[in-house]
């Protein structure tokens, strides 16, 4: 490594970030250790450095999951000292994906002063208000992200092509994002549409894990199928098998009472319907 060598990276499709290796950060930069390099890399906002069991430097995104990505500019002067060739400069994460939204429009954004929208991240909902616009009435992606991140820490960042990206801080079924337009019935301007958060770009819930649910109607069941025998009776409905205990009763609906399986039991005299 040499004093002033630079590593230029793009994490998760965001704008380039430059990591500079300076002589003061090492005991001897020409013989830099993996641990020293890792400390410098870990000063990045979006990247972490570590040392693997074989003593090699590992560059890892702070984000996890299928949306995470790391791209190194092949013109970075630090590649030689780090032992990287140009073809090794791209990596992608794997596994669950956090909720992520990317606005459909690119900067500059014509967002009116006082415009509002609401963002719901992982179940937490907050209103975003753009207090003032630039002199020409437009905002950059970085300026938009600054406004959003006041309300949600590290939620928004610019993309490499000037869009606004929102990424949930969680993985799994609790990870969700929704952008809700400003109230159209009021005089307040909407901020969601000028940023391109409309349609499919306004909601993300990539990993669902819904519980099993049974809805109770609350209406008393009038019919019961009574087992007249001293042994259990198994009835096969379309939704599965149900066992009626000896001398027991089973609540049934009128539709179930007309089922052929129950009608056969009634015809054989082993069961009866009671209302």
**CA-CA distance, 130 to 111, in Å (whole number)?**
8
- Please, which pLDDT band fits residue 137 given cuts at 50, 70 and 90? low
Mean pLDDT within 114-135: 88
145-159, 162-176, 211-225: range with lowest mean pLDDT? 211-225
Whether 214 maps to a domain, the answer reads no
Indicate if 149 and 238 belong to the same structural domain.
no
Asked if 104 and 196 sit in the same domain, the reply is yes
Whether 169 is in a domain gets the answer yes
The answer as to whether 216 is a domain residue is no
Q: How many structural domains does the chain have?
A: 3
Query: Residue 160 domain-assigned?
Result: yes
Q: Contact 135/144 with Cβ under 8 angstroms?
A: no
Range name among 19-28, 127-136, 202-211, 256-265 with the lowest pLDDT average: 127-136
With bands split at pLDDT 50, 70 and 90, how would you rate the model's confidence at 274? very high
Give the pLDDT band (50/70/90) at residue 247. very high
Sign of CA dihedral 142, 154, 60, 106: negative
Residue 34 burial (CB count, 10 A):
17
pLDDT at residue number 41: 96
- Which residues lie below 8 Å from residue 87, measured CB to CB, with a gap of 6+? none
pLDDT > 70 in the chain, percent: 97
Boundaries of domain holding 267: 223-274
**Residues 1, 32: contact at Cβ < 8 Å?**
yes
Position 252 in a domain: yes
Same domain, 200 and 265: no
Domain check: are 118 and 186 in the same one? Answer: yes
The per-residue pLDDT for 275 is 84
Domain identity same for 199 and 242: no
Q: What is the pLDDT of residues 66-114, one digit of tens each?
A: 889 999 999 999 999 999 987 788 999 999 999 999 999 999 999 988 8
Closest CA to 47 of 26, 69, 73: 69
Q: Same structural domain for residues 13 and 51?
A: yes
Distance CA 191, CA 151 (A): 15
pLDDT digit string (tens) for 165-212?
Answer: 999 989 899 999 999 998 877 778 899 999 999 999 999 999 988 888
pLDDT given for residue 85 in this prediction = 85
Do 87 and 116 share a domain, yes or no?
Answer: no
Query: For residue 39, is the peptide bond before it cis, meaning its omega torsion is within 30 degrees of 0?
Result: no
Query: Are 41 and 79 contained in the same domain?
Result: yes
* pLDDT average, residue stretch 211-231: 88
Encoded tokens for 123:
């179940």
């Amino acid at each position: 490594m040499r004093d002033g060598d630079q590593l230029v990276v793009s994490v998760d499709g965001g704008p380039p970030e430059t990591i500079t290796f300076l002589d003061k950060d090492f005991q001897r930069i020409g013989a830099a250790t993996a641990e020293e390099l890792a400390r410098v890399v870990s000063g990045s906002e979006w990247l972490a450095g570590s040392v693997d069991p074989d003593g090699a430097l590992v560059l890892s995104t702070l984000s996890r999951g299928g949306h995470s990505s790391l791209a190194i500019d092949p013109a970075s002067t630090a590649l030689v000292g780090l032992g990287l060739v140009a073809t090794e400069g791209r990596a992608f994460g794997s596994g669950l994906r956090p909720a992520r939204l990317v606005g459909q429009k690119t900067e500059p954004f014509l967002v009116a002063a006082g415009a509002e929208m609401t963002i719901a991240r992982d179940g937490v909902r907050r209103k975003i208000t753009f207090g003032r616009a630039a002199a020409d009435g437009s905002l950059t992606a970085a300026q938009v992200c600054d406004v959003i991140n006041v309300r949600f820490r590290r939620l928004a960042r610019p993309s490499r092509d000037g869009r606004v990206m929102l990424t949930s801080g969680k993985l799994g079924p609790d990870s969700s994002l929704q952008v809700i337009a400003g109230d159209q019935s009021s005089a307040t301007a909407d901020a969601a549409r000028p940023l391109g958060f409309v349609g499919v770009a306004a909601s993300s819930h990539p990993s669902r894990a819904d519980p099993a649910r049974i809805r109770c109607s609350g209406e008393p069941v009038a019919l019961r199928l009574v087992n007249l025998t001293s042994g259990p009776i198994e009835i096969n409905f379309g939704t599965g098998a149900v066992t009626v205990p000896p001398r027991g009763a089973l609540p049934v609906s009128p539709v179930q009472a007309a089922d052929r399986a129950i009608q056969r039991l009634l015809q054989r005299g082993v069961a009866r319907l009671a209302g």
